[in-house]
Amino acid sequence: MTTPPQGNPYAAPVPQAGPNPYAQQGGYPQTAPVPQQGYPQTAPVPPQQGTPYGYPAQQGHPGYGAYPGHPQPPAPACMFCGGSPAVHVTFRAHRGILILMTFGKQSGMMCATCGLGVYRELTTRTLWQGWWSPFSLFLFTPFTAIHNLVVARKVKKLPAPAPGQHGQQVDPGVPVHRRPLAYVALVPVLWILFMIVTGLTQGS
């Protein structure tokens, strides 16, 4: 390692020794020993591992000089089974009982199979536990159900992980409309319809 150039590097943008000045401007120091990322003010700080901002700049990795320990980011893997492809999603669950309301969620990287299982579980739970407080009835539970529906499209677009490349998966189970508890949601819907019909017939 050699010492950095004296003076302010921003006042003299073109170093005299560099054959290609653009090779040292973009943060990709290839072979030139001129430190660009450590903000050398005036002191001759040796460009070692402990540069002031924690960037060990000169490591000989052309494309990833700033992160020598991670040559490339790992492929996104499912948080449940480790399979890929996976997307980061957040499914929600809501429960409202009189004035007691709870908000649950499951967030993270999920593959197609596990994401579908989480979606169905949390949505079904919301559809039968979510209606029993006023705010839940008109606000939180409809929002939660629609939110899950939208987010589920992200995992449904993924191809399923290849067999043998993942661990134990979340049981996707049966669709929401085949889970009897989901039909508890018909109670508030019918109740609202009943109120509407009652109001209409009383007016006439």
Site string for Zn ion, 166-195 (x = CB under 5 A): ---x--------------------------
Residue 78 binds Zn ion (CB under 5 A)? yes
From the CB of 81, what's the least distance to Zn ion, in Å? 3
Alpha carbon distance 12, 65 (integer Å): 23
3-state secondary structure of 144: helix
Provide CB contacts within 8 A for 137, sequence distance 6+. Answer: 96, 131, 188
Residue 57 binds Zn ion (CB under 5 A)? no
Which DSSP state fits 125? H
**Which of positions 89-128 make contact with Zn ion (CB under 5 A)?**
111, 114
Residue with tokens 């924690």: 54
Handedness of CA 28, 31, 35, 38 (dihedral sign): positive
CA distances from 80 to 122, 157, 174 (A): 16, 18, 19
Residue count of the chain:
204
**Which of positions 152-171 make contact with Zn ion (CB under 5 A)?**
169
Nearer to Zn ion, 89 or 176 (CB): 89
**Which structure tokens are listed for 159?**
């191809």
Binders of Zn ion: how many residues, by CB under 5 A?
A: 7
First to last CA, the chain: 92
From the CB of 1, what's the least distance to Zn ion, in Å? 46
- Are the CB atoms for 63 and 145 separated by under 8 Å? no
Q: Segment near Zn ion (CB under 5 A), from 7-15, 74-82, 99-107, 116-124?
A: 74-82
Nearer to Zn ion, 99 or 162 (CB): 162
From the CB of 144, what's the least distance to Zn ion, in Å? 22
Sole binder of Zn ion in the list 37, 38, 80, 109 (CB under 5 A) = 80
Sole binder of Zn ion in the list 57, 81, 118, 182 (CB under 5 A) = 81
From the CB of 177, what's the least distance to Zn ion, in Å? 23
Tell me which residues touch Zn ion (CB under 5 A). Answer: 78, 80-81, 83, 111, 114, 169
